[in-house]
Amino acid sequence: MKPNLQISKYGKYAVLIPILLCLGFVVDTNLKQNQQQNILWITCEDMSPEHLGCYGGKVAKTPNIDQLASDGVQYSKVYSTAGVCAPSRNALISGMYQTSIGGHNMRNYLPGNVKIPGLENLPNYSIVTPESFRCFPEYLRKAGYYCTNNEKQDYQFEAPVTVWDENSRKADWRGRSSKSQPFFSIINFMDTHESQIFSRDNRPLTVDPKNVILSPFVPDTEAQRKDLARHLSNIEEMDKKLGEVIAKLKEDGLYENTIIFFYSDHGDGLPYAKRELYERGLKVPLIIKFPKNANAGKKDNQLISFVDFAPTVLSLAGLDIPKFMQGQSFLGEKASKIQRKYIYAARDRMDSEVDRVRAVSDGRFKYLKNYMPDKPYYQDIQYRMSIKGMSELIQLRDQGKLSGLQMHWFRSNKPQEELFDTSVDPFETNNLAERPEFKTKLLELRAMHEQWLRKYGDLGSISESEVVKKWQAGKDYNLKTGNPKISPSSNFVKIECSTKGASIGYKRHKSDLSWKVYDKPIKVSKGDTIICFAHRIGSLSSDVITRVF
């Protein structure tokens, strides 16, 4: 039996005081002592920063995002760990590089029509996380936070229901039992996703195709202009929805004392952007609005990776950062004293197509290591062929009607190493790897890549089927998590699970709508009912155990 995820009525309070550090200045939160921070993530999909007015965009109108930037701090060098959603979201929820825990492929739950050449017998699988691993919202819930997600997860594993008080299309902070309970909420917008370029094809455009500025990689055709206009129109629609969320916060009197993150899950969903490790695939907008609009309008140029988001939220909440996390906090009382010098990213199997590429960037120079140089840059991924401009590109290629940079994507093989200066070559077309004057930088970034591999490991170096076999050989993989044991002692009960790494959830009453996170012995009285279960990521959840006292 698997417990249902619903709304919680549980909360208690911690007493830590967050200190926000950013750009070397102290952010004045203007909060009373012992008051925890409310934190809201507003996320969108498949969108690079340059389309937004506050990042220099001239075509799409994004007044609500621009106002948020005016009220907050705007970050200019923020990178996802992959150019596609599931591996990036794996890094966001874990604070770990997806390559280190097996979440690097896109994705491990495949539709029945996706067949992988050479891996035809690969089963749908969950990754198996380290025993010490917990999704970071569990730590917030233990500290008394009300945590919600609306609604996409896509973590490369089924999240235990202990992660969220509520995960649904309607979930937000309003489900709290008390207005004084601190919250962490995620609002996800799908409007800008790659799929919305073709699924909204018949909707009216709010951006005139004549006004868009095309990439140099595509010909100037009606289809290409319409696709980009559709994408920008979707961004305008997303901006309106963000405005509605902000209005809701203000209506509830929460805007002034809530830390608001706005970001995209990776770069653009357009052809030769999504799934790639170029700036257009990895670089994302990030705006953070602090309480009382502290440091409003400031710009921050420090390097930030998606693996830094989880430890930063815990730091803002005044909580310790677990040792298993590989990112570093850039805000709060646990903020790293040393700013990040490099970001790392990975490209692996994309649906049916296998490749392995790794990237390191210092914010200006980008190093790419192509582990399968015999493979072409372009991959025949069927999902994106629904985009009219994508199918047109293939048709024009086959007809010999593309030239110059329009054929850049369709090169038949890759060098083992590439190096780009993104400050003067934003589209990353001029490989500097063999230029003598850039040898020092090449050696530096190559060494950083090799150091990253040694420090964190890379399961992409092993075939996917071998990784799954290793997990299947483990005693916990895809088996049922051990049933929890309830042990009474005086007026308290202790709950234990024999399966190492399992999260334990419990309820006090059958009428409770969600599962609390077990952290320490629970005080009980005669007549109380304790209901509990356990779930180890990579295994099935245990039975639900009930005991009346």
- Do 123 and 262 belong together in one domain? yes
Q: How far apart are CA 491 and CA 25, in angstroms?
A: 48
pLDDT given for residue 120 in this prediction:
83
220-250: pLDDT as tens digits: 999 999 999 999 999 999 999 999 999 999 9
CATH number (domain holding residue 237): 3.40.720.10
- Cβ pair 20, 289 in contact under 8 A: no
Residue type, 302: Q
Percent of the chain with pLDDT over 90: 86
392-421: pLDDT as tens digits: 999 999 999 999 999 999 999 999 999 999
Question: Could you check whether the bond before residue 230 is cis, i.e. omega within 30 degrees of 0?
Answer: no
- Do 444 and 492 belong together in one domain? no
Confidence of residue 35 (pLDDT cuts 50, 70, 90): low
- Candidates 22, 85, 147, 532; catalytic one: 85
- Do 318 and 359 belong together in one domain? no
Confidence of residue 475 (pLDDT cuts 50, 70, 90): low
Sign of CA dihedral 153, 159, 165, 166: positive
Q: How far apart are CA 471 and CA 515, in angstroms?
A: 28
- Cβ pair 145, 317 in contact under 8 A: yes
pLDDT at 34 over 80: no
435-470: pLDDT as tens digits: 999 999 999 999 999 999 999 999 999 999 999 988
CATH number (domain holding residue 518): 2.60.40.10
- Pick from 321, 340, 359: which residue ends a domain? 340
Residue 320: count of CB within 10 angstroms of its CB: 11
- In terms of Cβ atoms closer than 10 Å to its own Cβ (0-12, 13-18, 19+), residue 454 is exposed
- Do 69 and 143 belong together in one domain? yes
Residue 11 in domain: no
Q: Would residue 85 show up in a list of annotated catalytic residues for this protein?
A: yes
- Do 211 and 127 belong together in one domain? yes
Residue 2 in domain: no
Residue 98 in domain: yes
- Pick from 313, 340, 367: which residue ends a domain? 340
Long-range contacts of 490-496 (CB under 8 A, 24+ apart): 491/523, 491/524, 491/525, 492/521, 492/522, 492/523, 492/524, 493/521, 493/522, 493/524, 493/530, 493/547, 493/549, 494/521, 495/522, 495/530, 495/532
Residue 283 in domain: yes
Residue 94 in domain: yes
Beta bridge partners of 40: 185, 260
Residue reference for tokens 């990689």: 217
Sign of CA dihedral 409, 414, 416, 420: negative
Q: How far apart are CA 402 and CA 153, in angstroms?
A: 39
Nearest to 355 by CA among 105, 543, 547: 105
Q: How far is CA 426 from CA 174, 215, 269, 301, 423, in A?
A: 43, 11, 17, 17, 6
Residue 402 in domain: yes
Residue 328 in domain: yes
- Mean pLDDT along residues 8-17: 33
Beta bridge partners of 258: 38
pLDDT at 540 over 60: yes
172-196: pLDDT as tens digits: 999 999 999 999 999 999 999 999 9
pLDDT at 22 over 70: no
- Pick from 295, 323, 340: which residue ends a domain? 340
- Mean pLDDT along residues 154-179: 96
pLDDT at 516 over 50: yes
Residue 448 in domain: yes
Cβ neighbors of 235 (< 8 A, separation 6 or more) are: 44, 47, 51, 52, 60, 62, 191, 192
Q: How far apart are CA 110 and CA 123, in angstroms?
A: 9
Domain of residue 231 covers 34-340
User: Which of the two residues, 480 and 137, has the higher pLDDT score?
Assistant: 137
- Do 286 and 431 belong together in one domain? no
Q: How far apart are CA 390 and CA 383, in angstroms?
A: 10
Cβ neighbors of 250 (< 8 A, separation 6 or more) are: none
CATH number (domain holding residue 469): 3.30.1120
pLDDT at 81 over 70: yes
- Do 537 and 461 belong together in one domain? no
pLDDT at 51 over 80: yes
Number of domains in the chain: 3
pLDDT at 325 over 70: yes
- Do 196 and 97 belong together in one domain? yes
Confidence of residue 507 (pLDDT cuts 50, 70, 90): very high
- Cβ pair 331, 300 in contact under 8 A: no
- Do 401 and 416 belong together in one domain? yes
- Do 75 and 196 belong together in one domain? yes
- Mean pLDDT along residues 332-349: 98
- Do 396 and 525 belong together in one domain? no
- Do 139 and 228 belong together in one domain? yes
